[in-house]
Amino acid sequence: MKKIETRIRFSDSPWMKNLPTVTIGGLGGIGSWLTFFIGRFGGSMTLYDFDTVEDSNLGGQCYGRSYLGKTKEAAMVAILDEFCDNRDVFTFGKLEEDSMVSEYCFACFDSMSARKAMFEAWKKLENRKLFIDGRMLAEAYQIYVVTPGQEEEYEKTLFEDDEVEDLLCSYKATTHCGAGIAHDMTVIFTNFLTNLEEDVRVVPKRINNLLPLMHKDVY
């Protein structure tokens, strides 16, 4: 069988030299697109999600009709195989505080409790490198970036699930916003990996993006 060179267009990118194992928690409006984007690089991936693909997911997440009723993990494994030529993928269902995570973690959950569980697991790693937390509404998103030594600052942004404002279920997520935040999280990841060789790229601590105002704040 002819070898498929799926990564030839970016194989010499500086961040391709240091591809680590990544852990992605939540495969919904943010995580499904993020998994697709990072999966294109070909590195090892550990995924956590216990939901199934439903009709409502097709409007904002990286799934098609053929995946309805399947677990999001199984759907993403199939997508990574077909569209990314990436089979180095491991799935573990629901993430708990004692779950196994890697030194590079992406929190894409729709609950703060799951976000906290991933962070606590990551914080226990002596070799932890990067924790990226994405939070999204239909037309706005925030990204928090944590490296060793910044844990306490990040913990100030955490709160309980019952403190989240109750929004209309028909105005919580859109494809372009989910893909947009996943794009920014991917760029932060590749910038960080590039800086392992030479510190030349921007790795912000926080990004706020309000889509209707075309206004993005980077800290």
Report pLDDT digits (tens) over 138-147: 999 999 999 9
Model-level pTM? 0.95
DSSP structure class, residue 202? -
CB 27 within 8 A of CB 49: yes
pLDDT for position 158:
94
Sheet order of strands, 206-210 included: 89-91, 45-48, 22-25, 104-107, 130-136, 140-146, 206-210, 215-218
Report pLDDT digits (tens) over 140-174: 999 999 999 999 999 999 999 887 666 555 567 89
User: If 0-12 CB within 10 Å is exposed, 13-18 middle and 19+ buried, where does residue 151 land?
Assistant: middle
Q: How far apart are the first and last CA of the chain?
A: 48
CB 47 within 8 A of CB 34: no
Domains of the chain listed by start with CATH number? 20-218 (3.40.50.720)
Q: What is the pLDDT along the chain (219 residues), one digit of tens a residue?
A: 455 688 999 999 999 988 999 999 999 999 999 999 999 999 999 999 999 999 999 999 999 999 999 999 999 999 999 999 999 999 999 998 889 999 999 999 999 999 999 999 999 999 999 999 999 999 999 999 999 999 999 999 999 988 766 655 556 789 999 999 999 999 999 999 999 999 999 999 999 999 999 999 999
pLDDT for position 1:
45
